[in-house]
Amino acid sequence: MGFRVDQKPVMEYSEGIMAVPAVPGAGKTFIVANLAAKIIKEKLKKREKVLIVTYMNSAVNNFKNRIKCVLEEQDIKDINSYEVMTIHSLALRILKDRPDVVNVNENFKILDEAQKSVYLNECIKSWRKFKGERIFKNVLNENGLKSYNNKQERYWNNFLTIVTALISELKLNDIQAENLDNKLKIFNNKFSVIRDISDIYKNYTKRLKLDGYLDYDDILILAYKALKRDKKLREKFQKKYTYIFEDECQDSNIVQYKILTMLSEKSGNLVRVGDINQSIMATFTPSDPKFFKEFCSKADKKYTMYMAGRSSKKIIDLANYLVEFIINNHYQKQCREALQNQKIQEVKGIEGLKNPSNDESNLYAFLLPSWDKEIEKVIESIKIFKKKHPNETIGVLITSNYKINKFVEKLDKENIDYDNLSSISKDKVKIVNIIGYLLKFLAEPDSSIKFKIFLDVFIDDKYDKKDLILQFIDNYKNPYDIIYRDFEKIKSNNNIVLLIKIIENIRKIFEYYYISIDNLIIFIGSIFDFNIQDKALIQAVALYVKNILREEKNVVLNDIADRLIDKNNPIFVHIGEIIYEMEGYEPSPEKVTIATYHKAKGLEWDCVFLMDNTEYNFPYTLKDKIQSDYWYIKEEIKNPVALGKAEIEKLKGNIVSVNPLIKSRIDVINEKVRLLYVGITRAKKYLILTANFNKNSNSFKTQSCSRYFQVLKNFINSKEV
């Protein structure tokens, strides 16, 4: 297959530092895979390797398969000349080589992000009992205090997000917990977010050390330190990886950038590919698009991949118009660099490859009087589209998980099949309920009601013999009779094969009934046929229970079960968001895909609905309501993450000249417009933007459509599409 005119300069690369900005749908994976194959064929010496670093685990397998296919097509048999991994996998490999260099025990364990949430949640609970409740209430405004009793779980779940972000910032800036008190003296008696969370940070660090864990931030910073301190270690990896490619580098953080720069120092061969216009994670992770922007300005070579075959010209024109409007006309001058002047062009010069036709494409924009009316309009449109285009895919992008739940309730009533990719879909927390109701039964094994409830939760509603199984167990007043007394008699019943398997596992569980509850949960996860994500969540549940047992000596099985099935317990929603990655997800015409704008990155559909384009979700001016500002916290400290990051800069000895609250608002405005851009560029043929307005006497609930929606709607109408 040939290469486009914008791809050819990239494919001519042979050595040096190269930056490759690329528009959405430009074929970043394709070009990196082909360039890696070319380097393997033409440039590599014996024992040298090409290293490809990508952001997500799901992208690792995609790259491996792509490169393998290219090598096979070119009859290149040296399949061991490349490695693909995430930055954390690379850092782990470095650290395991010489843990002693940074005083780490070689038997350290890895604390994944889900487990990290459990540990931090328990540290927050301890802090809350000690003095945290008082400190927290002191920062609430009048409305926050009034609503505290009803909304405290939500507030504390938000606090977990705040603490997670700031502890990551502290670690990646190498500000260690044991040195923090001394550093904090520079603030004297002034209010300090970092001082308030310092006890949580110290407790978290202590617990990890006690249990032999390192979290991902530890692994990154320690790997960097090990490379910096140990010349032999550094040279070993520099010699091994003579070419380094990084994908999605708009999502890099400073430590990742430093590690890859250090590894490429000797060879001088580093290629970084990304799209600043798709940087949509910087406001809630340590990533920052400025690192890629700086790299682009300093690289020996810079080639932009500006062609994309994904979308029709109508959709491309709309995306480009948004870029043009932001750069030239944004009301906030500080936001005119939110999008780079990187216009998408249609594919040309490649036989058999062209963009979807404008004749089979269209754009629409609808403004509705409420969120409920917006839902009705979209569902009505989905029905019409599916009838007209039964073989085409549909994606519905919504701004929050909460609103997705409201939307899918309506889809259920309309019997429209869908895939819910949100982090709090029922499927993603179902495993916690299964474990909870199983523990409920184990606490009262003679309860036929609790046995039936467990089976009802465990067996999928779509299983055709579910009702038959539930009716069958109604014949038994005591579960003991079916599990033991009559088990041999019923084993041959082909209508209850699944029930037999469940009972066999329950019998095994009873044999291990004497072990601790956390280990019992791990054992349950090992004997049932759960998928890899469910098993990861079960590990997190076990860790959560282990921490409870450590803190509360008199807790019993039934107490643990109640906490697991408590719908108001937010920790597992948070963990589920971390664990469930859309590995290998491909939209299909049979089902409508429902996702947040963030989850949609990397996906594409024939028809895309972009919902909830309100001022709150896509703010335009500094006067608009901003999501990173917590409405229930006092005005001067309403964005604790922004204040905490500014304090970290001061702890490093840097001068902070800009008001951090204003800077954070600008950052959010910039990131939100990039999020809208990402949404637009998911569509191939049809794009429908919807928004709603709500005039309410309560000023907080009053909202209007976003300025961007108005601008794009006017553009659509002017083109008469």
The DSSP string of 44-107 is PPTT-EEEEEES-HHHHHHHHHHHHHHHHHTT---TTSEEEEEHHHHHHHHHHH-GGGGT--TT
CATH number for the domain spanning 268: value is 3.40.50.300
pLDDT of residue 421: 86
Asked if 558 and 499 sit in the same domain, the reply is yes
Strand-pairing partners, residue 302, are 19
Asked if 501 and 598 sit in the same domain, the reply is no
User: ∠48-51-56 over CA atoms, to 5°?
Assistant: 160
pLDDT of residue 572: 66
In contact, 254 and 288? CB cutoff 8 Å: yes
In contact, 635 and 650? CB cutoff 8 Å: no
Print the SS3 string covering 588-599.
CCCCEEEEECCC
Neighbours of 495 (CB within 10 A): 11
C-alpha to C-alpha distance for 252 and 279, rounded to whole angstroms: 10
Asked if 560 and 635 sit in the same domain, the reply is no
Asked if 200 and 129 sit in the same domain, the reply is yes
Asked if 131 and 232 sit in the same domain, the reply is no
Asked if 520 and 621 sit in the same domain, the reply is no
Angstrom CA distances, 326 to 17, 334, 602, 680, stand at: 30, 10, 23, 15
In contact, 603 and 594? CB cutoff 8 Å: no
Is 318 a domain residue?
no
pLDDT of residue 66: 84
pLDDT of residue 697: 45
611: CB partners within 8 A, 6+ apart: 374, 378, 396, 397, 398, 399, 403, 407, 690
Strand-pairing partners, residue 85, are 53
Asked if 454 and 395 sit in the same domain, the reply is no
Q: What residues are designated binding site?
A: 22-29
Asked if 596 and 696 sit in the same domain, the reply is yes
Angstrom CA distances, 478 to 47, 482, 486, 504, stand at: 66, 8, 11, 17
Q: Find the distance separating the first CA and the last CA of the chain, reported in whole Å.
A: 35
Report CA Rg, the chain. 27
In contact, 605 and 684? CB cutoff 8 Å: yes
Is 330 a domain residue?
no
* Count of helix runs (H) and strand runs (E) in the chain: 30, 14
Asked if 450 and 574 sit in the same domain, the reply is yes
C-alpha to C-alpha distance for 522 and 312, rounded to whole angstroms: 50
pLDDT of residue 139: 96
Q: Name the domain boundary from 552, 579, 606.
A: 579
Residue range(s) defining the domain that contains residue 660: 358-423+585-719
Q: What residues are designated binding site for ATP?
A: 22-29
Asked if 178 and 124 sit in the same domain, the reply is yes
554: CB partners within 8 A, 6+ apart: none
pLDDT of residue 703: 74
In contact, 530 and 502? CB cutoff 8 Å: no
C-alpha to C-alpha distance for 111 and 95, rounded to whole angstroms: 15
pLDDT of residue 569: 65
Residues of the chain with pLDDT under 70: 1, 423-428, 567-584, 695-702, 720-721
User: ∠455-461-466 over CA atoms, to 5°?
Assistant: 55
pLDDT of residue 581: 58
Structural domains of the chain, count? 4
Q: pTM for this one?
A: 0.87
Q: Name the domain boundary from 211, 236, 253.
A: 211
Q: Name the domain boundary from 532, 549, 579.
A: 579
The first and second tokens of residue 385, run together, are: 């589209």
Asked if 138 and 241 sit in the same domain, the reply is no
Is 658 a domain residue?
yes
C-alpha to C-alpha distance for 689 and 619, rounded to whole angstroms: 16
Asked if 293 and 366 sit in the same domain, the reply is no
C-alpha to C-alpha distance for 57 and 86, rounded to whole angstroms: 6
C-alpha to C-alpha distance for 326 and 339, rounded to whole angstroms: 7
C-alpha to C-alpha distance for 109 and 86, rounded to whole angstroms: 18
